[in-house]
Structure 1
Amino acid sequence: MTAAGRRSGALDLLVVGDANPDVLVSGAPETPPAGQAETLVDSGALALGGSAAIVAHGAARLGLSTALVAMVGRDPAGDFVLDTLSAAGVDISACTRHDTLPTALTVCLNRPDGDRAILTAPGCLPAFGPEHVPDLTARHVHAASYFLQPRLAAGLPRLLADAAAGGASTSLDTNDDPSGAWRLAPGLLAACTFLLPNEAEALSLAGALGAREDGPDRGADEIDGLDDALDVLRAAGPVPVVKRGRHGVVARTGTETVTARGPEVVPVDTVGAGDGFDAGFLAGWLASGALPQALAWGCACGALSTRAAGGTTAQAGPDEAAALAARVEVGVAPLTAV
């Protein structure tokens, strides 16, 4: 595989998807008491949220010419999102502001063990559709938060296929599906160069894909672990790149399995770490066109993003990302013919 060559006037990266503020609360009880009881917590912070926005912010910090296409409301939350992105160097000229619906808002209740509960008010996200995505030329097109934006989701196979036909590489990070159905539009995965789920998402996506009439001849309850899921997702078209937290990442091409794992870090906050990985992975891919290097950059940027609260506060610059990427252990194993 090779990365798309730089074209005159082309962006490095076009990101399409969600953008919203995150309210980050640490130290909340698992079930906050009701009855108008006021519960004190360890800390709270306001940060840029939305998978697509965090990826775009991280990519710009790494030096990629990056544009975000998203929808926010005409409200202070929308102002905060766009001002934060613009200050990081992200081109927001293609972002749309809805006249009546509010900007989406997410509250993250972070637990000491690194897990978290996520509450999202979707606001204008369901109104965002393919008609809001202008015809911009980019070396790579990335889409995020598929299940939160049903109108965009319906048009995403065509959007990504058109980008690929124009010479761009493409990727999708679906993020979680609140409905639990995990169904993707026909043709979507075939239009993706890379699929970037975490491990739980990969298992769910593979299970749903296996149960589809037009998918592999597998039932949803027949997916036998991550290795099996990688095969099912790879058969649908993309290279699956599965994020496994502190266990690193694993990817499957048609001929080999590539793994990467960085040095252990003690995270302050893991919100947005997967999106930080995506930004680093795409920067590494566009710089090298090589999967091992892209995985190393992804691991480095995902780890570095956990140094502070929020998904963007501690995102890496290119020098520190390169330094940590050089310490990531990468393994390549050829697939064994059955």
Structure 2
Amino acid sequence: MSRTSPTDHPTMRPFDLLLPGEINPDLILSGDVEPQFGQAEKRVDSAHLTVGSSSVITACGAARLGLKVAFIGICGADLFGRFMLEEMQLRGVDTSAVLVDPLQATGLTVILNKGHDRAMLTFPGAIAALRADQVSDDLLRRARHLHVASYFLQDALRPGLPDLFHRARALGLTTSLDTNWDPAGRWEGVLDLLPLVDVFLPNAAEACALSGETDVTRAARRLADLARTVAVKLGAEGALSVHAAQTIHVPSIPVDVVDTVGAGDTFDAGFLYGYLHGWTLEKSLRLAAICGALSTRAAGGVAAQPTLDEVITVMDGGR
């Protein structure tokens, strides 16, 4: 039996992509950023307030490529919340489902960027507040695909994700997941969720940690026994994808790297664009790898996110 009626076919829905996620800006401090306590003051080279949140960066990257994107999350009625909503709207993300809670503070991440390395300090605020039952069936019916990121940061959402993914699939949506790193190192719940995931998007370290494998190709193949398609981010080495018996590797492209913040999230946006347009696995993976690489050309996660035309030019051999 069809999961949707002819008048509710997923391709006819107003949004390509729905993301339930965390909302927080990033404050990026660059230069000699190691603090000295004892009330010592140091100067840094630059300070940049920009869009943060793995989920929001993916949403902005997808909208930049031309997907119709809706977002649901919780933020405070404060300066950081207003900043994030304005930036998301400016980049074409529909925020009409976002819940503004005056009793909560919007989260914030301070990134101490030394160029070759970085450290992050996060005030959680409302980052972990969204629950799965706040993502209504009516909202799901308006989208073709559900993407969840920051699995281990979203404490209130995580317990309800199996039900949310079941509901999404029953309503005709496809699903994807990018867990990001587990700070506790336990990786609980992910393997049980993967059979409900159409596209799983870890990086190499995450894939190996989840699978128990030390080789990333074996890790991807083991995870592909659970999720339908696995696309693994390999940084400067490109990307690897496994679907059924097919294993594909694509290289990255040369780029003058300024900041790698959000590169994996922009990779996700690129892969989902190809997936939702019925592209081949190899073409979708190439698009994703190029999107991730091009996003590193400027500080922050969204400033250098490419348009589809930019990516196609690179895919066709230009620079």
Q: TM-score, normalised by structure 1?
A: 0.86
Name the amino acid aligned to 1:119. Answer: L
8 Å CA contact 2:24–2:127 kept in 1: the answer is no
In 2, Cα distance between equivalents of 1:205 and 1:74: 37
Question: What is the Cα deviation at residue 289 of structure 1?
Answer: 3.8
3-state SS, counterpart of residue 151 of structure 1: coil
Question: What is the Cα deviation at residue 6 of structure 1?
Answer: 5.0
- Structure 1 equivalent of residue 6 of structure 2: none
In 1, Cα distance between equivalents of 2:191 and 2:260: 32
Question: What is the Cα deviation at residue 327 of structure 1?
Answer: 4.3
Find out whether 1:325 has 2:307 as its counterpart: no
Find out whether 1:126 has 2:128 as its counterpart: yes
- Structure 2 equivalent of residue 229 of structure 1: 219
Residue number among 179, 182, 191 corresponding to 2:184 in the alignment: 179
Give % identity. Answer: 44
3-state SS, counterpart of residue 108 of structure 1: strand
| Aligned 1:102-181 pairs, distance under 5 A | 102-113=105-116, 115-135=117-137, 136=139, 137=141, 138-181=143-186
Find out whether 1:32 has 2:35 as its counterpart: yes
Name the amino acid aligned to 1:7. Answer: T
3-state SS, counterpart of residue 276 of structure 2: helix
3-state SS, counterpart of residue 94 of structure 2: coil
| Aligned 1:12-23 pairs, distance under 5 A | 12-23=16-27
Name the amino acid aligned to 1:46. Answer: L
> Structure 1, residues 35-89: CA drift from partner, whole Å, max 9, x if none?
1111222221000000110111111111111001111111110000001001111
Residue number among 84, 94, 107 corresponding to 1:91 in the alignment: 94
Find out whether 1:58 has 2:48 as its counterpart: no
Residue number among 256, 274, 283 corresponding to 2:246 in the alignment: 256
3-state SS, counterpart of residue 93 of structure 2: coil
In 2, Cα distance between equivalents of 1:290 and 1:164: 22
- Structure 1 equivalent of residue 76 of structure 2: 73
3-state SS, counterpart of residue 147 of structure 1: coil
8 Å CA contact 2:31–2:44 kept in 1: the answer is yes
Find out whether 1:277 has 2:277 as its counterpart: no
In 1, Cα distance between equivalents of 2:162 and 2:317: 37
8 Å CA contact 1:263–1:327 kept in 2: the answer is no
| Aligned 1:187-226 pairs, distance under 5 A | 187-207=192-212, 223-226=213-216
Name the amino acid aligned to 1:79. Answer: R
3-state SS, counterpart of residue 125 of structure 1: coil
> Structure 1, residues 118-140: CA drift from partner, whole Å, max 9, x if none?
22111112221112213223221
Name the amino acid aligned to 2:189. Answer: L
Instruction: State the 4+ residue runs in structure 1 displaced beyond 6 angstroms.
Output: none
Q: In angstroms, what is the RMSD of aligned CA positions? A: 1.7
Structure 2 unaligned residues grouped into runs of 5+:
1-8
In 1, Cα distance between equivalents of 2:195 and 2:32: 42
In 1, Cα distance between equivalents of 2:207 and 2:112: 24
8 Å CA contact 2:73–2:97 kept in 1: the answer is yes
- Structure 2 equivalent of residue 294 of structure 1: 284
Q: 10-19 or 44-53: which moved more? A: 10-19
- Structure 2 equivalent of residue 243 of structure 1: 233
8 Å CA contact 2:115–2:259 kept in 1: the answer is no
Find out whether 1:308 has 2:298 as its counterpart: yes
Name the amino acid aligned to 2:111. Answer: C
> Structure 1, residues 90-145: CA drift from partner, whole Å, max 9, x if none?
110111122312111111112222x3212211111222111221322322110010
In 2, Cα distance between equivalents of 1:245 and 1:70: 29
Q: Return closer, same or farther for 1:185/1:247 CA change in 2, 3 Å cut-off.
A: closer
Q: Return closer, same or farther for 1:168/1:65 CA change in 2, 3 Å cut-off.
A: same
8 Å CA contact 2:232–2:239 kept in 1: the answer is yes
Q: Return closer, same or farther for 1:7/1:231 CA change in 2, 3 Å cut-off.
A: closer
